[in-house]
Structures are given as C-alpha cells and as structure tokens.
C-alpha cells in the first residue's frame, strides 16, 4: 500500500512538473504544426506584411514586414503566449535582413522586437478577452509605460533628441510606471551595417540576432547580451559591412536594465517606413523561456 501511495505521489509530482514547463515561441513561417500561432496587425499601412517563400536555403520562408518603395507603413505581428510563467531567463534567436532601397538616407526605419507583458496584452489575439489592444511596435521602442522590454535594429537617424547615435545602431528600451530606460550604440565601429543596398529576395543572406536575457527575481533589474552574426557578402550599403561572412559581433554585453521584474512574456515584432523605405524581413524565430 505504501508503494502505491509513493507511486501516486510521484505521478502527481511529474504532472505538476509538466504543467510548469516552459514552451518556446517558434516559427519557420512554413505552416508546421510546431509553429506558434501569431496575430498580424497594422497601425499604419500602405501594404500589409506577408509570408514569402522565395528566400535563400536557410530562410526559404520568411515574413516581410515592410516593402521597399512603400512608405507610411507600420506593420506588426505578435505571437501567442507559449509560457504562462514569470520569465527569469530568455534565449532568443531570429534571422533578419533589411535593404533594397539604395542611397544614403533613402532607407528607413528598422525592426523592433518587444517582450510584451501578457498581463496587459493578453495571451492571444489583439485585445481579446478584454485585454489592451496590441501596440504599435517600432525600432524606437516607443511603447506606452506598460513594462515591456524592447530591442531595436535602427537604420534611420532621428537625432540626438531621440537618442539615436546614427543610422546604424541597436537600441534597448524599458518603460514602466516607475522607470524609463534608453540605451543605444552604433554598429559602425564594429564593421557591421544593418542595411543592404542590393537586396535580392532569393539570394541575399539573412543575418542572425541572438539575445540572452536574465531577470533578477529580487528586483535587481535585467541583464542583456546581444550578438549579431553577419552573413552578408559584398554589401554596398551606406558604409558597408567590412567584416567577413560568419563573423559575430557583440554590441551589447551584460547591459543592466534597471527596474525590470520577472513577468509572463509575449513576443512581438514590428517595422515601419516613412518617406524613406526598405524591405524588412524576419525568419526562423525561436524564443526559449525559463521560469
């Protein structure tokens, strides 16, 4: 009898363990059963974003958020929440490319990645079940004070007042009711250029962004490291990418973001154009959460 009770307790423990396991947010944009459901929406658009299937071999299927030659666009997609736990650690990977509009100052604006609090925006859809409607997401990370961490890959210089060092930088923002934090650093000194003048849908390689985020459970803020691996060959952008294909740079290393506490996350992407435009694509999304 004691053995049966022990086995029963062990079974309950296993079930409890399974119920809190973290699940990754992932997609190849190919319709696989393992692809996480996402909601597409737009806060200002001249042409909706769409799934494309003519990419290079390692990113044959990708999502084009904005189009070269199409201005005044702000397109977004938000993934369903895949882990209901408060996140203490995140390892995130996404392939991206931006380009197609040649000439210095003619391209804009960049890619934004937001770790939205599911407690505000809900677990699925856009404003479903009484949740707040999903926000406009940009490379500037200018969300309301909702407690979201945002990472921007920015190809347009909005000036010192906006906190932009140039038209080729990565930024981090965190806005909450008590904290407004902004950080930006240029990628140019590292020999890397986000924008590609001559972007060919079929042949141009995607670069790779990796994020590693740790959040202190005791209110000590978050620590972020970001790396970019360039796969570009012969980029003739405004300043050009001088590093060899396959080279990884670390523009952010152990950056402390104050005020961040653990929270359940929902991943979202956004990109925009104005008077200047660009193709902005993402592929192979994989965000792995640890409670």
* Confidence band, pLDDT 50/70/90 cuts, at residue 281: very high
For residue 15, name the pLDDT band (cuts at 50, 70, 90). very low
| pLDDT value of residue 75 | 97
Give the separation between CA 194 and CA 205, rounded to whole angstroms: 12
Q: Is 268 helix (H, G, I), strand (E, B) or coil?
A: strand
Tens digits of residue pLDDT in 211-261: 999 999 998 999 999 999 999 988 877 778 999 999 999 999 999 999 999
CA distance 109 to 130: 32
What pLDDT score does 21 carry?
56
pLDDT band at 160 (very low <50, low <70, confident <90, very high): confident
Q: Which domains, ranges and CATH numbers included, belong to the chain? A: 24-290 (2.60.120.200)
Residue 9's pLDDT band (boundaries 50, 70, 90)?
very low
How many CB atoms neighbour CB 79 within 10 A? 22
Written in H, E and C, the secondary structure of 84-95 is CCCECEEEEEEE
Mean per-residue pLDDT for 98-109?
A: 92
Residue 171: which of 188, 154, 157, 158 has the closest Cα? 154
| Residue 253 tokens, joined | 């290393």
CA–CA gap between residue 195 and residue 239 (Å, rounded): 9
pLDDT at 123 over 60: yes
């Amino acid at each position: 009898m004691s053995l049966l009770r022990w086995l029963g307790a062990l079974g309950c423990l296993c079930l409890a363990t399974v119920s809190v396991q973290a699940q990754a947010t992932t997609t190849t944009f190919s319709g696989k059963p393992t692809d996480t459901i996402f909601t597409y929406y737009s806060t200002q658009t001249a042409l909706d974003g769409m799934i494309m299937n003519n990419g290079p071999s390692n990113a044959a299927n990708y999502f084009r958020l904005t189009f070269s030659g199409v201005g005044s666009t702000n397109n977004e997609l938000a993934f369903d929440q895949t882990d209901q736990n408060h996140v203490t650690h995140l390892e995130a990977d996404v392939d991206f490319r931006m380009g197609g509009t040649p000439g210095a100052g003619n391209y804009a604006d960049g890619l934004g990645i937001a770790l939205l609090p599911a407690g505000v925006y809900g677990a699925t859809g856009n404003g479903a079940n009484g949740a707040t409607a999903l926000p406009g997401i940009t490379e500037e990370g200018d969300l309301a004070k909702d407690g979201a961490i945002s990472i921007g890959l920015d190809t347009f210089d909005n000036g010192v007042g906006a906190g932009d060092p140039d038209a080729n930088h990565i930024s981090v923002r965190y806005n909450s009711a008590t904290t407004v934090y902004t950080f930006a650093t240029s990628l140019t000194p590292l020999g890397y250029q986000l924008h590609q003048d001559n972007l060919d849908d079929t042949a141009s390689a995607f670069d790779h962004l990796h994020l590693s985020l740790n959040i202190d459970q005791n209110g000590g803020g978050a620590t972020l490291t970001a790396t970019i691996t360039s796969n570009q060959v012969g980029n003739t952008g405004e300043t050009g990418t001088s590093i060899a294909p396959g080279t990884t740079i670390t523009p952010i290393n152990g950056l402390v973001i104050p005020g961040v506490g653990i929270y359940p996350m929902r991943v979202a992407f956004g990109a925009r154009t104005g008077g200047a435009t660009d193709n902005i694509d993402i592929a192979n999304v994989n965000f792995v959460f640890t409670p």
